Structure 1
């Protein structure tokens, strides 16, 4: 399976911008954002395969749906899960936030999904 031209163009643009703004070759890890609000949804396992084939080690996803998380299980790709503004309106207490973390993070960490987070200071 080959990566789509659009996917490769996005990667090339990202790397070019990093070089342009830093004045030196990009160092570090290249990641990608992936959401599912599009006219042509890709099957989650195909997305994981594309990421692996292109050496992508980090991804930010915008859904913690069971089929998406299962596709990343054992892939070694580090995930950040982002919530949409729409979803945030329903997380209106610490109890609801803890329930979401249990359902969407803790559950999948035990299924070998590499969910990462970064603490901002």
Structure 2
């Protein structure tokens, strides 16, 4: 589970919000940014606050130094300028905040099969 002391979390690219909804169930205050309107609408049912749009479109609506954790699960590889976006997001972290990210392993055989033969990045 997420560290108990981390109370306020921002998830960038939350999809339908399943990860943030789990954190909400654990008593966390979860905010999210999601570019897809349908996914954002679903996510809004289980998350404290959802901003529908891109980082560039919505970041100004989010308070500075407000979050204990910012999470980006399998999002960085979709960004045009990932380092610029990470620098922008840093202003939203509290002084001792933590940035957590993951990227898919495209060399994993099942992923590689889909990419090469099915042309499917899902």
TM-score normalised to structure 2 length? 0.33
TM-score normalised to structure 1 length? 0.33
Structure possessing the higher radius of gyration over alpha carbons:
1
Give the strand-richer structure, 1 or 2: 2
